[in-house]
Amino acid sequence: MDWRIFGISLVVALACACATMEGQRQTDYSPPSERGPVVILLSGASGPDNYRSYAAEVARLGYYAVLLDGNDFQSKYGKSAADDLRRVIERAQSSAKALPGKAAVIGFSRGGGGALAHAARMSDLVSAVVAYYPGISFVPGMRAFAAKFQVPVLVLAGGRDTYKNCCLIESMRAMEAAAKEGGAPFELVVYPKAHHGFNLETRSTYRPGDAADAWQRTTKMLRQYQPLR
């Protein structure tokens, strides 16, 4: 996928910025058909701006996409962050833009860690989780962490990711082993030469081939667990 095809006009046409009752800022992206299955996106620590084109493209597939600041859902915030995410998902599901059913959750870096810590445990609300280079290196006990996964999970990681030691490949491998030991539907895809943010054109670490492959795997995950209808 070539991110350069998405101009400002597309993002503006699809996006509607608003605040949740909890005070988080979110941007909604409407699907072409006006209604679609829900996909929640949680940004990295840099905030939502780097992920707006991505959210717009998710909507262009036919989904009702809701982009939030991943800083609001850090795993270390515990139950409070989980409750906030649950309310965000439920609110999105009740929108006139949403089709009935569960939500898929896509998280990046810090937002990816939050998606794994919270959304992956919400089998009543969430169909699947996709986490790009998730911030999980802080997790003290990976076996206990992964044992709580209740939905299918896809993790997309850079083999050379050393950014602030947040998302080390050793952590990803440990999570993979723990998840498989617990029998959770889990797939880890490692891009051997990729660093942090490998799918973001705004970063010097951007790798178009890896970004395209990650996007293809993400859309396959959505088709399988969050199909358009």
Residue 20: the pLDDT is 55
Please give the order of strands across the beta sheet that includes 186-191.
15-19, 25-29, 64-68, 36-42, 98-108, 126-132, 153-158, 186-191
What CATH number is associated with residue 62?
3.40.50.1820
The strand pair at 15-19 and 25-29 is best described as: antiparallel
Give the pLDDT band of residue 73 (cuts 50, 70, 90). confident
- Residue 13 is part of which domain span? 3-225
Please determine, for residue 99, whether its predicted confidence score (pLDDT) is greater than 70. Answer: yes
Question: Residue 141: what residue type?
Answer: G
Stretch 157-181: mean pLDDT: 96
Domain count of the fold of the chain: 1
